[in-house]
Structure 1
């Protein structure tokens, strides 16, 4: 069996503690995951960004398992919009 995606694995290992993510558009933000899981190699998770508690974020592994994709749903939106992919995931050291 192929390896798990390293970024997804890191997000999974850090959760439920806050995780600082860097996205491919240059965005750096701290997220709190409500849940994360692997099903075989497939990664899924949902959470919120610390400064946007009413906005939902969804994280899934790409079809080829090469990246972790990020979707966002605002309270007034009808559905999810793709906002990019995660380049880095780090634990937040000074979280309370």
Structure 2
């Protein structure tokens, strides 16, 4: 059996607590992820980003090598792909 994507596993394990995500282009943000689940190796979740009214979706790539992020703003009619998650870490609760 193929293993689960390590970034997806990390997001799944941290949620529903806030998770700091870094995208491949260097973009960083704190996300509140809900509904994180696996269907065999495929990952999917939804969430919000602190300071942003948009909705976000997280899904594994077709080859399960990456976690892709889509964004739908409050005034947009569709989803746009904004990047690939390269790192997920818990947010310090100080």
Q: Which category describes the TM-score, using the shorter chain as reference length?
A: over 0.9
Q: Where in structure 1 do 4 or more consecutive aligned residues deviate above 3 Å?
A: none
Question: What is the total number of aligned residue pairs between the two structures?
Answer: 94
Match of 2:51 in 1: 51
TM-score (norm 1): 0.95
Shift of 1:89: 0.2
Displacement after TM superposition at 1:34 (Å): 2.2
1:87 maps to what in 2? 86
Runs (5+) with no aligned partner, structure 1:
none
Q: Deviations over 1:44-87 (max 9, x none)?
A: 000000111x2000000000000000000001111000011000
Query: Once the 2 structures are TM-superposed, how far is the Cα of residue 93 of structure 1 from its aligned partner?
Result: 1.4
Take 2:19 and 2:61, find their aligned partners in 1: how far apart are those partners? 20
SS of 2:69's partner is strand
Deviation at 1:25, TM superposition (A): 1.3
TM-score by length of 2: 0.97
Cα distance in 1 for partners of 2:30, 2:40 equals: 27
State the distance in 1 between where 2:93 and 2:47 align.
19
Give the aligned CA root-mean-square deviation in angstroms.
Answer: 0.9
